[in-house]
Amino acid sequence: MEPTRKLPLGIQSFEKLRTGDYLYVDKTAYVYQMASLSIPYFLSRPRRFGKSLLISTFEAYFEGRKDLFEGLAISKMETAWEKYPVLHLDLNAEKFDSVESLNSILLRYIERWEDVWGRDGQSQTPAGRFEEVIRGACEKSGKGVVVLIDEYDKPMLSAMPGEKLSEEYRKILKAFYGVLKSSDRYLRFAFLTGVTKFAQVSVFSDLNQLVDISPKQDYASLCGITKNELLQFFMPELKRTAEKQDMTFEEVVCRMSRRYDGYHFAPQSEGMFNPFSVLNALHFRDFDDYWFRTGTPTFLVNLLKDSDYDLRLLLENVELKQSAFMEYRADANNPIPLIYQSGYLTIKDYDKNIGLYTLGFPNDEVRYGFVDFLIPYYTSVSDSETGFHIAKFSRELEAGQTGDFMERLKVFFAKIPYELSNDNERHYQAIFYVVFTLIGQYVNAEVRSARGRADAVVKTKKYIYVFEFKLTGSAEDALKQIDDKGYLIPYQSDGREIIKVGVEFGKEQRNIHRFIIR
């Protein structure tokens, strides 16, 4: 087997990656293609998806660092290797807790650039000095300036949208980034990256010259790892993982795909693997929730609750127009754009005849991580209790202990601190969906709300369970619906024992009142 290679865990500097002999998935053909057109670009991708490394790669290219690109695709394309003034603003690692801190950070970068290119004007604002240094760098070098801004939206995402601090950040950055439009004649190239594209009424209102390549098919694999790249660049690591896990090579690739693949940034584009999770999984030769654990989606869950969004839609896949998820508007009371752009949802399908997109969880890491994270926010069940209950639920279903399962479900629902009424029945339905989604980690569990399908179907080695829940109706009504609607028909030739479970909720009990098992 080949010697152990250096995987670039946490490496965001292209120079460090190349001089340190780290493994690199070659994206430089994209760099050449984009740079040759001199178009001002914008790219939105989830955190830890390779945006910072991409920006660093552009920086090295425009600095004429031919030595760093030897052996890569771009070395066969580029011949001139010209050097340009590069202004690189990285907001990713900064802390934004006040207007003063944001202004201080912007001015710190500007002062560094002024140390190189001088300060010719008298402006005191970050935006004014930014414009002056762009003009000065162009005039002194005789070449267009390259502006690279990484995580342009970090300040606004650090404050809750709609709050005063977020609005103050928006005003400062709107003026600062607006300089790129007024300074267009001095620019050779501009590229902004971030997690979220804020709507035209916000920061982007003065940046309408930017070309948003985020949803474009041609740039869908600009960040991340395709399956072909996984097999081409990581074959030794995949084999080592198979050996450690006592799995076949094919089983490892299948597990990697199920857990880390599935990001689609354009209709019909190939699935992308999360690079952060892939590198960590292959380094440690273990399958864990690496990406999810690096950032908890507390802000997004709060948005879900504040907007009273129906969780069942989120868990089942959301159908909507592109305009409803590609740009975030703080006043729209719609959490889906931020959830999508943050990487917790992705494009699953597209109906071009009616222009509707279907969004869903990209893979198991995100699906179960996000759903598990929801439980404490919608119930009083703690993180540790959730894992305990879900594992027990699965064991009881596998053992055919349906009664024990239902009694445990009653204990779980008893911890929900809401009264059962006509106004919040949806809340109980949502928790039911969350529970069965999490059970799907261990057994084949599906939840449905479409008319004509059972509320939940769980398949184990020996049993197939068909559940129907009634919030306004009896357990007998639930069983009758299973029979009348033919919910059992798809499973009658399966060979496993079929168990019907009719469940009714009680308003007074605020819990499962009765259940019938047949």
Is residue 418 pLDDT above 60, yes or no?
no
Co-location of 212 and 308 in the same domain: no
Same domain, yes or no: 58 and 127? yes
Domain-terminating residue out of 293, 324, 350: 293
Total Cβ atoms within 10 A of residue 64: 14
| Residue 107 and residue 250 share a domain | no
Answer yes or no: is 9 within a domain: no
For residue 110, is it within any domain?
yes
Confidence bin at 204 (pLDDT 50/70/90): low
d(CA 518, CA 516): 7
Cα dist. 452→141, 221, 427, 428, 444 in Å?
Answer: 69, 39, 22, 20, 20
Buried b (16+ CB within 10 A) or exposed e, 12-49: bbbeebbeeeebbbebbebbbebbeeeebbbbbbbbbb
Strands of 463-470's sheet, edge to edge? 444-447, 456-459, 463-470, 497-506, 511-517
Q: Are residues 360 and 412 in the same domain?
A: no
> What CA–CA distance (Å, rounded) separates 189 from 84?
10
**pLDDT value at residue 218:** 95
| Residue 414 pLDDT level (bands cut at 50, 70, 90) | confident
In a domain, residue 374? The reply is: no
Does residue 104 belong to any structural domain of this protein? yes
289 and 306 housed in the same domain? no
Residues 419 and 472 placed together within one structural domain of the fold: yes
pLDDT at position 298 is 83
Token pair listed for 345: 């949802």
- Token pair, residue 17, equals 């990656």
Residue 200, pLDDT > 60, answer: no
Select from 170, 197, 219 the last residue of a domain.
219
Domain count, the chain: 4
pLDDT above 90 (res 88): yes
Please give the average per-residue pLDDT across 378-392, as a whole number: 79
Residue 192's CATH number: 3.40.50
User: Of 21-30, 221-230, 307-316, 366-375, where does mean pLDDT reach its minimum?
Assistant: 307-316
Q: Where are the beta strands (DSSP E) in 163-297?
A: 187-194, 211-212
Helix, strand, coil percent content, the chain, rounded in steps of 5: 45, 15, 40
Does some domain include residue 5?
no
Residue 24 CA from chain centroid, whole number: 23
The mean pLDDT value of the chain amounts to: 89
Decide: helix, strand or coil at residue 193: strand
Residue 71: inside a domain: yes
387 and 307 share a domain? no
User: Could you count the other beta carbons within 10 Å of the beta carbon of residue 325?
Assistant: 21
283 and 304: one domain?
A: no
Measure the CA–CA gap between 281 and 23, rounded to whole angstroms.
15
Q: Model's pTM, two decimal places?
A: 0.90
| Residue found under tokens 């940034």 | 265
Confidence of residue 285 (pLDDT cuts 50, 70, 90): very high
Residues 312 and 437 in one domain: no
Query: What domain range is 256 assigned to?
Result: 227-293
CATH code, domain carrying 398: 3.40.1350
User: Rounded to the nearest 5°, which phi and psi values hold at 279?
Assistant: -65, -40
The pLDDT score that the predictor gives to residue 421 is 38
Query: Average pLDDT, stretch 268-286?
Result: 96
Report the distance separating Cα 326 and Cα 319, nearest Å: 13
pLDDT band at residue 11, thresholds of 50, 70 and 90?
very high
Residues 108 and 239 both lie in one domain: no
Would you say residue 370 lies in a domain? no
**What value does the mean pLDDT take over residues 140-144?**
97
Among the residue ranges 126-135, 244-253, 296-305, 454-463, the one predicted with the least confidence is 296-305
In angstroms, rounded to a whole number, what is the distance separating the alpha carbons of residues 211 and 248?
A: 44
Q: Which residue has the tokens 């979220």?
A: 196
Neighbours of 477 (CB within 10 A): 14
pLDDT of the residue at 316: 81
Longest dimension (CA), the chain: 84
Residue 502 covered by a domain: yes
Please write the tens of the pLDDT for every residue from 257-266.
999 999 999 9
Given 185, 219, 253, the domain boundary residue is 219
Residue in 10, 109, 6 with CA at minimum distance from that of residue 53: 10
127, 209: one domain: yes
Give yes or no for residue 332 having a pLDDT over 70.
Answer: no
What does the alpha-carbon distance between residue 255 and residue 240 come to, in Å, rounded to a whole number? 14
**C-alpha–C-alpha distance, residues 221 and 394, integer Å:** 37
Query: Are both 134 and 181 inside the same structural domain?
Result: yes
Residue 291 is encoded by which pair of tokens? 């990406």
Question: Tokens in use for 191?
Answer: 């590229």
Q: How confident is the model at residue 507 (pLDDT cuts 50, 70, 90)?
A: confident
- CA distances 477 to 406, 436, 447, 481, 515, Å, are 18, 21, 19, 6, 11
User: Cβ–Cβ contacts within 10 Å for residue 466, how many?
Assistant: 21
Gap between the Cα atoms of 14 and 435, Å rounded: 43
Looking at residues 191-201, what average pLDDT do you find?
Answer: 79
Contacts of 492 (CB under 8 A, 6+ apart): 498
